[in-house]
Each structure stands twice: as structure tokens, then as C-alpha cells.
Amino acid sequence: MATKKKTITKDDIVSIYMNEVLENGKKPKSVFHFAKENDFTEAEFYSFFGTLEGLEKEIFRLFFVNTVDLLHKNEEYQEYNMKNKMLSFYFTFFEILTANRSYVLQTLKIDPNPIKNLVQLTALRESFKEYVAEILTDDYRLEQERFQKFQEKTLQESAWLQLMLTIKFWMEDASPAFEKTDIFIEKSVNASFELMNVAPMNHLLDFGKFLFKEKIYSR
């Protein structure tokens, strides 16, 4: 009697893809090759993803989803103000990135054209912008309208740019346990919230000094 083939899941395909990219140092040539080499059918792949590029985007989106799921398991998280929610997001998100660092570094550098590498982050971008809108409190909305007249979309785009800069810093961070990235996160988030509050520039100056020292001593 033939053994019944195990039904492949979306998580299985994600895991297989990440392992294949790491082991081979490159992306599969096509869905056909990817499916054939890993003993499942193209139909099974297409039941979850439309293209390999869609799969790549989903992997980074899942890093985000797992981050938010972990945050919501903490009962205290719901009581945090916006800044502490953002800090919690950053620290948790980068723990997940660190657990998958080899994959992230390889895939974000795999193409000579950096723009093509960043296409993988488009689903993450949309999910993160929605997250920023969700945690944006009325107090900060009032500050934006009163002092800087930022629209909510502008704030979302600014937060996304900040996340991208942090990812770049983390990718280049060679400090033990990526402790410099932790410092970068705390100082950059503090600086951004000081700007939103139109408050004294202490945190912004502190962040600027940190970046200056990093550039000087890393040469």
C-alpha cells in the first residue's frame, strides 16, 4: 500500500524556499524548478502564491505578522503609549530579523541592483504603514495638525523611511548581540517623537551625535 503524500502547507513552502536560497546562494530559476526539486507540484505552489516574487514579499510580511502577534500576547502592550508601542515593535521585529539574519542579508543583497532587492519589502511596507495608522493616537494627530500640518500618510511614509534606515544600520552592524542597533532604535525613535511633539531637540541632537561617532570610528 502506497504511503499517502503529506499535504504541503504555506509555511512548508516558505521554509523550503528560505532554506534553498541559503543553501544554493541564489534564487530558484522558476516555480517549475523549485517545485520539482522539492517534491511538490506547481499547483500546490500556486494555491498559495502567484509567483516566486510574491513568495519573497510574503516572507518579509510574515516577519511583520509574527512581530505583531508577539506584541499582542503581552497584556501590558495595549496600555503603552504610541512611542512605547513603536519601541516594542522595533525591538521585537529586529529580534525576528536577527533569527533569520543569514536569509535577510543574502536576499537584500542578492541582486546587483539594490532597487530590485527592495521590491521584496513592498508587502512589509504596506503592513507597517497600516500598523503606524493603528497606533497613532489622537494626541499625535492633533500635534500634526496644529504644528506641522502633516497628513497621516506623510507620518506613515516617514515611519517607513525610519524603519528602512534601521534595517540598513542593522545589516551593517558588527557589534556583539547587535547592541549598536538597539541604541540606534532607541535614539531614532526618541528623536522622531520629539519632532512630532515639536519639543526640545535633546533626543534629536543625541541621535545625531551617535550617528556622527558611528561614521567617524567605523572608517
Q: Output the DSSP codes for 48-105.
A: T-SSHHHHHHHHHHHHHHHHHHHHHTSGGGGGS-HHHHHHHHHHHHHHHHHHTHHHHH
Name the phi and psi angles at 170, rounded to 5.
Answer: -60, -40
Taking the CA atoms of residue 188, residue 193, residue 195 and residue 196 in that order, the dihedral angle to the nearest 10 degrees is 150
Write down the pLDDT at residue 140.
57
Write down the pLDDT at residue 133.
87
Q: Which amino acid is at 190?
A: N
Rounded to the nearest integer, the mean pLDDT of the chain is 84
Write down the pLDDT at residue 141.
54
Condensed to tens digits (0 to 9), the pLDDT of residues 181-192 reads 999 999 999 888
CB-based contacts of 182: which residues, under 8 Å, 6+ apart? 91
Condensed to tens digits (0 to 9), the pLDDT of residues 147-157 reads 444 566 777 88
Buried b (16+ CB within 10 A) or exposed e, 44-53: ebeebbeebe
CA-based radius of gyration for the chain: 20
Q: Which amino acid is at 173?
A: D
Write down the pLDDT at residue 150.
52
| Gap between the Cα atoms of 3 and 206, Å rounded | 63
Q: Among 31-45, 132-146, 151-165, which stretch is predicted with the lowest mean pLDDT?
A: 132-146
Report pTM.
Answer: 0.82
Question: Which DSSP symbol is given to 178?
Answer: G
CA quadruple 19, 24, 25, 29: dihedral positive or negative?
negative
Write down the pLDDT at residue 191.
84
